[in-house]
Structure 1
């Protein structure tokens, strides 16, 4: 049987019970920053009620063991996607792009349980280890179960874990929908405020269109008058030329000499 000190000192002992992640929820709820089942270093520190530096130092000392149990360092596109999910579901204290960190350590539930078995000075971690030892003791005291029953038990536990993950994802989706609804309401208010202004602008544009149409009509009428006047002037010139020809014919018939031209006209 394991003891608290054995879990703190023996990696093999910790490895033997690292699958019992259900004991975390028996102590307190483990809150994730996003709908993913991945906790940041701050999430882990908040769960165990210890400073963030404590978790960072522990992760550095036991990096190999924690990574084998699901601790991951995100960077590049994976980090950007995680940060986008985190911003969409919470008002975190992180600054916006591009000032964010280039790497981020995250823990799955198995890695968080491993942290519980490594933290000495955390009351929450001690309670997790107590539940863990009690669960192990109960398992050893129970008679050996039929392999089929044990398989059903494991399937049921996996199903419960899936349900918890889906519930966390639903919570994230619900928060996103709430954010979209709030943004929609704000947009509706803005549109209501802009409605009268848009109406006035539409009226002014309609008046300008009417004035342009009237101006085009007047211009068209003016062009018609100018064309008619030009035609009348042209007809008058033709009539004057014809009259001048008739006058010359009459003068030739009467043998009237043509009138002398003025000196200016000769020049």
Structure 2
């Protein structure tokens, strides 16, 4: 795990951690403006428990970096519209107590606040945030390493399965050939059975015709006998 001070010195490392804004609320509740997106310099100083001058010094030294993280300065009509939106969101009896900047207002996003936490040296809260980020990263790396080991074990098992399947290949081919042969023999047997069935049907028809002829002959013989008796 890199030392906690590494985040103070390396901008590239800070960029890697900017997505972990959840670390802020893990250390201390971060109170945002009514829109839930922005926070003022005064509120940031209360979060880190330092003066507003300290926060302003950090933002002045790293203005370009913090601007990329979401910090911006409102003036003129843009500032008036923002105040109007905030008062509307603040609502009711709280609207009059909403603090409004006179000429300009510096706003920060959560990413910008996290960026400040990785730049602010003289704050125990900022130090805790940096430590949390690095500890969490170490935990993730250990988890990834364990997962990688499990994947390797599974791949080894699958490799054994692959060898077994290769050995079974010839056996399966022979079984497939024998099954095909049995299918052909079964088809031939079915054809023979069908032919026998047809012959039996034909014989049944002939027997029926013979029975009919016998019945006719018996009937004629009977009539001849009755005729003789009358004479």
TM-score by length of 1: 0.49
User: Is the CA contact (8 Å cut-off) linking 2:72 and 2:107 kept in structure 1?
Assistant: yes
Query: Is 2:13 the counterpart of 1:13?
Result: yes
Q: Is the Cα–Cα contact under 8 Å of residues 87 and 98 in structure 2 kept in the other structure?
A: no
1:101 is matched with which residue?
102
Cα-to-partner distance string for 1:206-237 (whole Å, 9 max, x where unaligned): xxxxxxxxxxxxxxxxxxxxxxxxxxxxxxxx
Alpha-carbon distance between aligned partners in 2 of 1:44 and 1:18, rounded to the nearest angstrom: 17
Instruction: For 1:111 and 1:66, locate their aligned partners in 2 and report how far apart those are by CA, in whole Å.
Output: 6
Residue aligning to 1:139: 140
Match of residue 229 from structure 1: none
Partner of 1:34: 34
In the superposition, the TM-score normalised over structure 2's length comes to: 0.57
How far is the alpha carbon of 1:18 from its aligned partner? 1.1
SS in 1 for 2:78: helix
SS in 2 for 1:104: strand
- Deviation track 1:9-67 (CA, whole Å, cap 9, x = no partner) reads 11111111111111011011110132231001111111111111111111010001101
Within the alignment, does 1:66 sit opposite 2:61 as a pair?
no
- What do the CA deviations read for 1:178-224 (whole angstroms, capped 9, x no partner)? xxxxxxxxxxxxxxxxxxxxxxxxxxxxxxxxxxxxxxxxxxxxxxx
Instruction: Give runs of aligned pairs for residues 176-255 of structure 1, distance below 5 A.
Output: none
Aligned pairs (5 A) from 1:22-171:
22-88=22-88, 89=90, 90=94, 92=97, 94=99, 100-143=101-144
Q: Determine the C-alpha separation between the residues in 1 that align with 2:139 and 2:76.
A: 45
The structure whose residues are more often helix, as a share, is: 2
- Structure 2 gaps of 5+ residues are 149-231
Q: Secondary structure at the match of 1:4?
A: coil
RMSD over aligned Cα atoms: 2.0
Is the Cα contact below 8 Å between 1:45 and 1:55 reproduced in 2?
yes
Alpha-carbon distance in structure 2 between the residues aligned to 1:31 and 1:47: 8
Partners of 2:35 and 2:22 in 1: how far apart? Answer: 18
Cα distance in structure 2, aligned partners of 1:51 and 1:38: 19
Instruction: Report the Cα distance in structure 1 between the residues aligned to 2:21 and 2:86, rounded to whole angstroms.
Output: 23
Structure 1 residue 86, shift from structure 2 partner: 3.6
1:23/1:132 contact within 8 Å kept: yes
